[in-house]
Amino acid sequence: MPIDKIFKDDASEEKGERARMASFIGAMAVADLVKSTLGPKGMDKILQSTGRGHSVTVTNDGATILKSLHIDNPAAKVLVDISKVQDDEVGDGTTSVVVLAGELLREAEKLVTSKIHPMTIIAGYRMAAECARDALLKRVIDNKENAEKFRSDLMKIAMTTLCSKILSQDKEHFAEMAVDAVFRLKGSTNLEAIQIIKKPGGSLRDSFLDEGFILDKKIGIGQPKRIENAKILVANTAMDTDKVKIYGARVRVDSMTKVAQIEGAEKEKMKDKVNKILAHGINCFVNRQLIYNFPEELFADAGVLAIEHADFEGIERLGLVTGGEIASTFDNPESVKLGHCKLIEEIMIGEDKLIHFSGVEMGQACSIVLRGASHHVLDEAERSLHDALCVLSQTVNDSRVLLGGGWPEMVMAKEVDELARKTAGKKSHAIEAFSRALVAIPTTIADNAGLDSAELVAQLRAEHHTEGCNAGIDVISGAVGDMEERGIYEAFKVKQAVLLSATEAAEMILRVDEIITCAPRRREDRM
């Protein structure tokens, strides 16, 4: 029996050179795919699913694009994963992280062909990444003490993040909204408290931030449309037991009157429950489940606004905002914490009616209402805004900022280059390669804007040899510009995450020397 029959028939394995080639090529293909979305002049991609309804997504967000691809190449999957993690961790920089990892592999491929062992390359990359991170740490700006400056930093970070997205036209408006919303969170990174409601119609400019809470529901029939100084009971309980449900209930009776009695008893039980709820002295009752017409009628008679089917997140948020707790039993009213707000009223957005709670106890939550021409625009606007909110909420905690526009990459590349000159041995080649890979990000930004990248990057490199230089690529004027004057800032946390994730992913793919694909499972013939 020949040696290579260890595996099943259909299993394939690739060894050594071929395996490494396969993984490099796959990873670089993925990097090139999202490369064109990088930077303020990056283009969008349309993703069309073949599933039901052929849903179409138009997006510029690296993580969203990669999430939707079904990739067969194992190395490419590693890149998809790092972009997902980047999205969850800091929200922005999903494209940069993939592009950087792809460039690191492209450089590594050249080194491997010139007979440098992958482990040597990895050791060099490790040193280079450390050095690059220290270079950034030396140049961070931190304005945490000065509130006004810090706010303007946040505004600039938000505008830089939104620059490459669909919202770039109204970026001041949206940056203002995002910064307000994040300041409301008072330093928590829980974005659940910011509710984003999408309503088609109007233009993106009509989007607004509301400090109250908006519930996407209509007010029931015959109930007060407007309540001032509301006391709200937020509940999760069944309010639909006043009728005997014909299906699923088995009752043995000898006459129809007995059924009527049972129904009567059920109704009484319901009435008791409603009275218990009313005993809390409330004038607004929000329930997560159904409320039938009978209890609804009872609530309306008592002048209480009853809202049914508030979706689950809605209800948790509502509890957060109004300071109430979610109750499911009503026997002891004194122990239930009620929510409060100044005014509940019905508002119209577009042609939908919504319920608006204003003057809420906790200023922590707010609602952002997005308007836009179509669902696709709204989805993309929500993704962009979400990116901005993530970055801002991270920056509020870790207030270090850097300049943007390819500036951090050039600073890192310069330091790494110097390290390469000092290092003896083969590692220095790998360190030099790392610096070349870093320069690929400003190069790509310039390429996407249709500028002469080689010329610009060479200029940048020359500029950066003077101390304390703020030069970066100014895509709008198409030249090298001062990033501080242009107000292009980025969060330190994002850059650090990009640098470290990309290096680790590249390392992981470099270590591969064999790919084994297992045989597909065959369906046995059942005949």
Give the model confidence (pLDDT) of 410-445 as tens digits. 989 999 999 999 998 899 999 999 999 999 888 988
Instruction: Write down the domain spans for the chain.
Output: 12-141+403-516, 213-362
Residue 181 in this model has a pLDDT that exceeds 80: yes
Residue with tokens 């179509």: 374
Place of tokens 């039901």: 52
d(CA 194, CA 365): 6
Calculate the CA 404 to chain-centre distance.
Answer: 21
Which is higher by pLDDT, 385 or 187? 385
- What letter represents residue 295's amino acid? P
The CA–CA distances, whole Å, from 361 to 283, 304, 320, 321 equal 16, 20, 9, 7
* Whether 160 contacts 387, CB under 8 Å: no
| Cα–Cα distances in angstroms (integers) from residue 51 to residues 54, 64, 348, 493, in the given order | 6, 17, 35, 37
> What confidence score (pLDDT) does residue 304 get?
82
**pLDDT of 433:** 93
Mean of per-residue pLDDT scores for the chain = 83
Q: 360 forms bridges with which residues in the sheet?
A: 341
Cα-Cα-Cα-Cα torsion 9, 14, 15, 17, nearest 10 degrees, comes to: 160
Residues 229, 232: Cα–Cα separation, whole Å: 10
Q: H-type helices in 330-449, by residue range?
A: 375-397, 407-422, 427-448
Which residue would you say has higher pLDDT here, 474 or 244? 474
**Nearest one of 183, 408, 103 to 175, comparing CA atoms:** 183
Helix (H) and strand (E) counts in the chain: 16, 19
The reported pLDDT for the residue numbered 311 is 67
Q: What is the number of other CB atoms lying within 10 angstroms of the CB of residue 505?
A: 25
Residue 19 has pLDDT above 90, yes or no: no
pLDDT beyond 70 at 317:
yes
Predicted confidence at residue 384, as pLDDT, reads 87
Architecture of domain 213-362: 3-Layer(bba) Sandwich (3.50)
Distances, alpha carbon 205 to alpha carbons 160, 195, 201, 381, 502, in Å: 18, 18, 11, 11, 36
Closest CA relative to residue 490, chosen from 384, 401, 393: 401
Q: Is the pLDDT of residue 2 over 60?
A: no
Q: What is the DSSP letter of 446?
A: H
* CA–CA distance, 69 with 253 (Å, rounded to integer): 60
Q: Which of 32-36, 217-221, 486-490 is predicted least confidently?
A: 217-221
CA distances from 274 to 225, 260, 269, 301 (A): 20, 21, 9, 11
Of 370, 404, 56, nearest in space to 201 by CA: 370
Q: What 3-state class would DSSP assign to 107? A: helix
Active site residues: 61, 94-95, 387
Q: What confidence score (pLDDT) does residue 105 get?
A: 92
Give the pLDDT band of residue 220 (cuts 50, 70, 90): low
Separation between Cα atoms, residue 489 and residue 157, nearest integer Å: 5
Q: Which residue has the higher pLDDT, 369 or 187?
A: 369
Q: Note whether 360 and 404 are within 8 A (CB).
A: no
Give the closest residue to 286 by CA, choosing from 239, 229, 353. 239
Per-residue pLDDT band at 99 (split at 50, 70, 90): very high
- The residue-averaged pLDDT of 117-143 equals 90
At 5 the pLDDT is 67
**Top mean-pLDDT range of 53-67, 201-215, 472-486, 495-509:** 495-509
Q: Look at residues 85, 47, 51 and name the one whose alpha carbon lies nearest to residue 68.
A: 47
pLDDT for res 97: 92
In this predicted structure, the answer to whether residue 156 has a pLDDT above a threshold of 60 is yes
For residue 199, count other CB atoms closer than 10 A to its CB. 18
Tokens encoding 44: 């969008």
| 240 burial via Cβ count (<10 Å: 0-12, 13-18, 19+) | middle
> What is the token pair recorded at 377?
């625009």
Averaged pLDDT for residues 483-505: 89
List the structure tokens of 170. 């109204």
Q: What is the pTM of this model?
A: 0.81
pLDDT recorded at residue 524: 66
The angle at the Cα of 422, spanning 424 to 442, to the nearest 5 degrees, equals 115
Asked whether the predicted pLDDT for residue 527 surpasses 70, the reply is no
Cα(385)–Cα(165) distance, integer angstroms: 9
What was the pLDDT predicted at 126? 92
Burial class of residue 468 (count of CB atoms within 10 Å of its CB; 0-12, 13-18, 19+): exposed
Q: Is the pLDDT of residue 3 over 90?
A: no
Q: What percent of the chain has pLDDT over 90?
A: 13
C-alpha to C-alpha distances, 272 to 237, 290, 337, nearest whole angstrom: 14, 17, 21
pLDDT digits (tens, 9 = 90+) for 239-269: 766 565 655 667 777 878 877 787 788 888 8
Residue 241: predicted pLDDT = 64
Which tokens go with 363? 């200023």
Is 12-141+403-516 assigned to CATH 3.40.50.2000?
no
- Lookup: tokens for 350: 């577009």
Q: How far apart are CA 162 and CA 122, in angstroms?
A: 35
- 84, pLDDT greater than 80: yes
Q: Is the pLDDT of residue 504 over 80?
A: yes
pLDDT (tens digit per residue) in 357-407: 877 766 666 788 888 888 888 888 888 888 888 888 888 888 888 888 888
